[in-house]
Structures are given as structure tokens and as C-alpha cells.
């Protein structure tokens, strides 16, 4: 019987060891991601209950603002991911260790420097004006922001271990850690509702502090176990290899900036045009439909490093077959997305009650955005894995320039409200998706030239 089961499994996923590894980790990722999604959804009503709708809206805007600072890694994470995978594929173990040391040490120096600058700059910033809130809350934010920024920035260093696991074609580990983080946050914030009053300070410190404790512990375990031979050391930091990560990483950095601006500025625009309380329905709709984005991501993420390996080995047949499979999955998820739209109002009431109104037009716009995002990720996954990202850089800069004016035009001048803001993002994303599809065709058919091949 075990032999027959094994034969059936091989027929199902194919004979490719690479594909079998991907399927295995998709299975584990699905399990952990399901737990993360459940914990994340349970966090919303608990957080609203603890903070209240207005303060929760401020928290969403504040956390989006802090999220901008993921750009501090200047693309080192993405650069490490590709270079580590390439070095291991070529059997260059010490070179892989050099890349790990460069990423950790460089990122640590950057983060410490920026934390010091932020702490001093914090005294000059009026947070109540930025977040359109009361002066009393602004004073609380002046104490909270350095804490949030410090914890969040330290996470950029600690999360590099997840990059290493993903580059080593073990992406389900990231899902496991994210699940533990979400579960701890859910438990911690639930305890807050039982032991503390309404405090944005305590809430924010707990929300950003618990993940860093877990991530640091995981780094210690990994570098004293599975990745002991890759443990970062100062003697392995080499200037001549720094550019291997940063040259590719810097382009990823610009693309990352554009993507962050594309999404996180939406909360600031809503706060300043409609008020912080309107951030809540927008983000609830986003969280609901992002279930499909998470599912698609857990399926496609394992392919990144495998695409890198396959591209280096010129296994284009496997790449084409894999992309076709992902396209079929995207079509299936589109059908599910339509069903989610029909069930959205029922689900909102079940999830958070009827105190917050979410228009159907906002839900439909959000569903369209998720569909376009999952479509474009099919092709950008392969493009990112090959490092041919110059065209993606150009299109990202264009979207960076047009998204905010479009959002204001659609939301305010055309009177589309919250729906207009996400529709503007849809326009920007659709343009990127078309370019990504064209470049994928050129690369896979070995016809890419000029900017398409840089």
C-alpha cells in the first residue's frame, strides 16, 4: 500500500524533485497560513473592542506609516535571496556564508543608525497633525513612535533568517513563524482586554515587541542548528561582494518603495480626506479579500528560488509548465473571489457585527484589485527570480508618480469615495501586470533584449 500511495503522489505532482519539494512546502504553508489567517481575523474585532473604532483607525494608519520603513533594508533581503540560492545551486557554500554575513552586518549597521536619527527627529515632529488626531493622542504618539520604530526596524534584521529558509527552498518555515507570531499576538491582545484599559501605547508596544522576541529566538536556533555553517561573522564581511547583493538589491529597493507607496499611502489619504475612522472599513474589506492574496502567495512563493535554480540550469520547459499550473490556479481563485464578493456583507456582519458599514462598491473594487495583483504576481515571480528587473523598476516609478494623484482624483474630485482610492491602485497595478506578462514571454522564449533583459 505505501508503494502505491507513493506512485500516486508522483503521478500527481510529476517526477521532478524540484516540483515535489514545492508541493510539499505548499502543503505545510497552507496549514500554517490557514492558522495565521484565522488568528489575523480574530485580531480585528478584539483590537476594535480594545481600542475603539477611531483609535483602531489611527493604529492602522500608524502601522502603515511604520511599514514604509521596510525600505530600510535597501533590497538586501531580495538580493540575499537570489545570491544565496545561486551560490548554493553552484555548490559555493562559503560564498553563500559571505552573502549571509554581508546582509546581516550591513542591515544591522543601517538599522542602528536610522533608529538613532529617528529618536532625535521624533522631538521635531507633530504626530497629531500627521495622523489628523487630537493633541492628547499626539503626545501619546510622541512616546509610542520611537518604540514602534525601534522594534519594527530590528525585525528587518531578524527576518533575514526567513529569507535564508525561502532561498533554500524551504518556504513553509516562514509560514510557521508567521503563524506563531499571529497566535502570540492574539493571545497577548486578548489578555490586554482583560487586564488593561484603552491604551494605544501598550497595544502598539505589544504588537511590535512580541514578534521581535520570537524572531531573535528563531535566529539563535537556526544558526546553532541547520544553518550553523552559514552563521554570520564579521570576518566574512567583504566589500568586494557587497555589490553582488546591493546592485541587485538596490533595484529591488526602488521597486519596494513604489509598492509600499502604492498601498500604504491609501490610509493616509483616507485619514486626511475622510477622517481616521474611515480607514477601518477600507482595511476590513482589504483584510477579507486578502485571504485570496495570501493563498495565492503561499502557492507562488516556493517557486521563486526554484525558478532561480531552473533559470541558471536553463530548464525552461519546467518553468513554462510551472507557470501554466499557476495560471490555472489563478483562474480558480478568480471564481472563488466572485463568490466571496457575493458573500461579503454576510461575512462582515458575522465577523465584526453591523456597527461598521462597508459599501458593496468598496468590496467590488477591492476584489478587482486582488484579482489584478494575483495575476501580475505570476509573471513578476519569474522575473524577480531571474534578476531581470530593470523594466519592473521603470514601471514601478511610473506607478509611484501617478497613484496618489489618481487616488485623490477618483476619491474626491469624481466623488467615488473609498472605492475611488482602490480603483486608482487597480489602474496602476493593471499597467504593471501587462508589462510583466510581456517581459515574461520575452524571457521564457529567449527573445528578451535591451531593457527587457537587464
Would 228 be classed as within a structural domain?
yes
Would 393 be classed as within a structural domain?
yes
Predicted confidence (pLDDT) per residue in 433-446, tens digit: 899 899 988 888 88
- Whole-model pTM: value is 0.62
Would 9 be classed as within a structural domain?
no
Give Cα 32 distance to the centre of its chain. Answer: 16
CB 48 within 8 A of CB 56: yes
Q: Which residue has the cell 538586501?
A: 76
CB 287 within 8 A of CB 347: no
Overall domain count for the chain: 1
Neighbouring CB atoms inside 10 A of 202's CB total 17
Query: pLDDT band at residue 5, thresholds of 50, 70 and 90?
Result: very low
Q: Residue 30's pLDDT is what?
A: 67
**b/e 392-403 (16+ beta carbons within 10 angstroms → b):** bbebbeebbebb
pLDDT over threshold 90, residue 340: yes
What are 102's three cell numbers?
Answer: 554581508
Predicted confidence (pLDDT) per residue in 54-101, tens digit: 777 777 777 766 666 655 565 677 778 778 877 877 778 888 888 888
Percent of the chain past pLDDT 70, that is, above it, reads: 84
* Cβ burial, residue 231 (10 Å; 0-12/13-18/19+): middle
Would 7 be classed as within a structural domain?
no
Q: Residue 12's pLDDT is what?
A: 41
What's the full length of the chain, in residues?
454
pLDDT over threshold 50, residue 4: no
Predicted confidence (pLDDT) per residue in 281-328, tens digit: 888 888 889 888 878 877 777 777 778 778 877 888 888 888 888 899
Q: Which domain holds residue 84?
A: 16-453
Long-range pairs for 238-244: beta carbons < 8 A, 24 or more residues apart: 238/98, 238/102, 241/95, 241/98, 241/99, 241/102, 242/102, 242/106, 244/79, 244/83, 244/99
Average pLDDT, the chain: 80
How far apart are alpha carbons 366 and 153 in whole angstroms?
29
* DSSP notation for 26-83: HHHHHHHHHHHHHHHHHHHHHHHHHH-HHHHHHHHHHHHHHHGGGGGGTTHHHHHHHH
Would 158 be classed as within a structural domain?
yes
Q: Residue 22's pLDDT is what?
A: 65
Would 77 be classed as within a structural domain?
yes
Q: Residue 3's pLDDT is what?
A: 45
Would 11 be classed as within a structural domain?
no
Which of 98-107, 196-205, 223-232, 254-263 shows the lowest per-residue confidence on average (mean pLDDT)? 254-263
Q: Is pLDDT larger for residue 221 or for residue 265?
A: 221
pLDDT over threshold 90, residue 150: no
Give Cα 120 distance to the centre of its chain. Answer: 29
Would 10 be classed as within a structural domain?
no
How far apart are alpha carbons 258 and 246 in whole angstroms?
18
What are 291's three cell numbers?
Answer: 485571504
39-48: average pLDDT = 80
Amino acid at each position: 500500500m505505501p508503494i502505491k500511495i507513493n506512485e500516486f503522489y508522483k503521478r500527481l505532482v510529476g517526477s521532478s524533485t524540484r516540483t515535489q519539494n514545492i508541493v510539499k512546502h505548499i502543503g505545510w504553508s497552507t496549514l500554517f497560513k490557514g492558522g495565521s489567517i484565522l488568528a489575523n481575523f480574530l485580531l480585528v474585532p478584539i483590537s476594535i473592542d480594545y481600542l475603539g473604532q477611531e483609535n483602531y483607525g489611527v493604529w492602522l494608519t500608524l502601522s502603515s506609516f511604520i511599514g514604509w520603513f521596510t525600505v530600510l533594508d535597501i533590497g538586501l533581503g531580495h538580493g540575499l535571496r537570489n545570491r544565496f540560492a545561486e551560490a548554493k545551486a553552484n555548490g559555493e557554500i562559503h560564498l553563500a556564508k559571505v552573502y549571509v554575513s554581508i546582509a546581516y552586518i550591513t542591515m544591522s549597521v543601517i538599522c542602528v543608525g536610522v533608529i538613532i536619527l529617528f529618536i532625535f527627529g521624533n522631538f521635531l515632529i507633530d504626530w497629531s497633525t500627521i495622523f489628523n488626531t487630537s493633541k492628547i493622542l499626539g503626545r501619546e504618539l510622541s512616546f509610542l513612535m520611537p518604540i514602534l520604530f525601534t522594534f519594527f526596524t530590528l525585525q528587518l534584521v531578524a527576518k533575514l533568517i526567513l529569507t535564508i529558509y525561502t532561498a533554500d527552498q524551504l518556504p513553509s518555515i516562514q509560514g510557521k513563524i508567521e503563524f506563531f507570531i499571529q497566535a502570540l499576538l492574539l493571545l497577548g491582545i486578548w489578555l490586554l482586554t482583560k487586564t488593561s484599559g484603552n491604551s494605544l501605547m501598550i497595544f502598539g508596544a505589544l504588537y511590535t515587541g512580541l514578534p521581535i522576541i520570537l524572531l531573535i529566538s528563531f535566529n539563535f536556533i537556526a544558526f546553532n542548528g541547520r544553518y550553523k555553517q552559514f552563521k554570520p561573522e564579521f570576518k566574512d564581511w567583504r566589500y568586494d561582494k557587497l555589490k553582488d547583493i546591493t546592485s541587485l538589491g538596490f533595484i529591488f529597493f526602488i521597486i519596494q518603495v513604489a509598492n509600499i507607496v502604492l498601498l500604504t499611502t491609501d490610509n493616509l489619504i483616507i485619514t486626511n480626506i475622510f477622517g481616521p475612522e474611515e480607514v477601518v472599513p477600507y482595511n476590513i474589506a482589504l483584510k477579507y479579500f486578502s485571504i485570496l492574496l495570501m493563498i495565492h502567495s503561499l502557492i507562488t512563493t516556493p517557486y521563486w528560488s526554484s525558478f532561480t535554480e531552473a533559470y541558471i540550469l536553463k530548464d525552461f520547459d519546467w518553468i513554462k509548465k510551472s507557470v501554466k499550473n499557476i495560471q490555472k490556479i489563478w483562474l480558480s481563485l478568480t471564481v472563488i473571489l466572485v463568490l466571496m464578493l457575493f458573500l461579503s456583507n454576510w461575512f462582515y456582519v458575522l465577523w465584526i457585527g453591523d456597527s461598521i458599514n462597508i459599501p458593496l462598491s468598496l468590496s467590488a473594487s477591492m476584489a478587482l484589485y486582488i484579482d489584478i495583483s494575483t495575476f501580475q504576481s505570476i509573471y513578476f515571480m519569474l522575473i524577480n527570480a531571474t534578476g531581470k528587473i530593470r523594466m519592473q523598476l521603470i514601471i514601478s516609478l511610473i506607478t509611484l508618480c501617478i497613484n496618489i494623484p489618481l487616488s485623490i482624483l477618483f476619491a474626491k474630485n469624481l466623488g467615488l469615495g473609498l472605492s475611488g482610492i482602490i480603483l486608482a491602485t487597480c489602474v496602476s497595478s493593471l499597467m504593471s501586470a501587462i508589462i510583466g506578462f510581456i517581459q515574461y514571454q520575452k524571457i521564457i522564449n529567449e527573445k528578451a533584449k535591451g531593457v527587457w533583459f537587464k
